[in-house]
């Protein structure tokens, strides 16, 4: 699983939330700011099932909210035009992006 991508889809009311990360990040605790707090990269949120790039892209194109974490996941989203170069941040030094669809 070290080189894979894991994903979980959450349905919350009308939202289709996709959470995906590089598999090797699962279980890690990433620092948040200078407060000493950390956030766990939880399999409960990101899932444990390894998915293909195609499956992740299918889900992202249908999502209303996405939470993406890790270099491979972000690179794929950037390559497909889902995340712009200015739409990426860092969480504990790890590339991270959140995407929200605003109804038009």
Query: Does the pLDDT of residue 101 top 90, yes or no?
Result: no
| Fold annotation for 5-100 | 3.30.1860
Phi and psi at residue 28, to the nearest 5°: -75, 155
Determine the average pLDDT of the residues in 68-87: 93
| Domain boundaries defined on the chain | 5-100
Q: How confident is the model at residue 3 (pLDDT cuts 50, 70, 90)?
A: confident
CA distance 88 to 11: 24
pLDDT of 5 strictly over 90? yes
**Spatial distance between the Cα atoms of 16 and 47, rounded to a whole number of angstroms:** 15
Phi, psi angle pair for 8, to nearest 5°: -140, 140
Whether residue 104 has pLDDT greater than 80: no
Provide the pairing of β-strand 38-40 with 29-31.
antiparallel
State the chain's mean pLDDT as an integer: 92
Q: Are 80 and 64 in contact (CB under 8 A)?
A: no
| pTM reported for the whole predicted model | 0.91
Environment class of residue 98 by beta-carbon count within 10 Å: exposed (0-12), middle (13-18) or buried (19+)?
Answer: middle
pLDDT band of residue 90 (cuts 50, 70, 90) is very high
pLDDT digits (tens, 9 = 90+) for 27-50: 999 998 878 899 999 999 999 999
């Amino acid at each position: 699983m070290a080189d894979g991508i894991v994903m979980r889809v959450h349905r919350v009311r009308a939202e289709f939330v996709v959470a995906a990360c590089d598999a090797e990040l699962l279980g890690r605790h990433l620092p948040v700011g200078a407060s000493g707090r950390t956030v766990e990269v939880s399999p409960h949120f990101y899932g444990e099932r390894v998915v293909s790039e195609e499956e992740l892209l299918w889900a992202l194109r249908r999502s209303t909210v996405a939470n993406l974490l890790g270099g491979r996941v972000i690179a794929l989203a950037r390559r497909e035009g889902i995340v712009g170069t200015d739409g990426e941040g860092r969480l504990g030094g790890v590339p991270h992006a959140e995407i929200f669809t605003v109804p038009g």
